[in-house]
Amino acid sequence: MSNGPYGQLACGCGAVTLLVCGAPLGHGRDAEGEPVSLWPQEAIQLGQGADELEVVPDASGVDAWQCWRCGERLLHADDEAGVAVLAGSSEDDDEAGVALTAAQQRRLAALGYRVDAGP
């Protein structure tokens, strides 16, 4: 197991940090074609900033986790799929397979994400 490409996410003002543990479920692209990595929600833990973190529903139906102080969005999360979506993707993450269930992939597709089929 690797630590994955993300150890910690921090917002612009530093008030909110999230810890990312384990390995991603897969990689893909968001509706704008930007690379994303897909993580089990339980891989995301709040480091600090419980008072600054706000979770707001996005237009697409997923929750955006953001800092209300600086407004920076740290990730998107979908409770139905139980998946957290992080911007960016590590191309050198060779072990990336697709560990998403078919139901999760359908849900993500419905939200506008395209999941890479894997190597």
Between 11 and 83, CB nearer to Zn ion: 11
Burial profile 11-45: b = 16 or more Cβ within 10 angstroms, e = fewer? beeebbbbebeebbbbbbebeeeeebbbbbeebbe
- Report in angstroms how near the CB of residue 45 gets to Zn ion at its nearest: 17
- Report in angstroms how near the CB of residue 104 gets to Zn ion at its nearest: 29
Between 29 and 68, CB nearer to Zn ion: 68
- Report in angstroms how near the CB of residue 52 gets to Zn ion at its nearest: 6
Residue in the shown chain whose Cβ atom is closest to Zn ion:
67
Between 67 and 100, CB nearer to Zn ion: 67
Binding site for Zn ion (CB under 5 A): 11, 13, 15, 67, 69-70
Cα–Cα distances in angstroms (integers) from residue 106 to residues 4, 71, 93, 101, in the given order: 24, 30, 24, 9
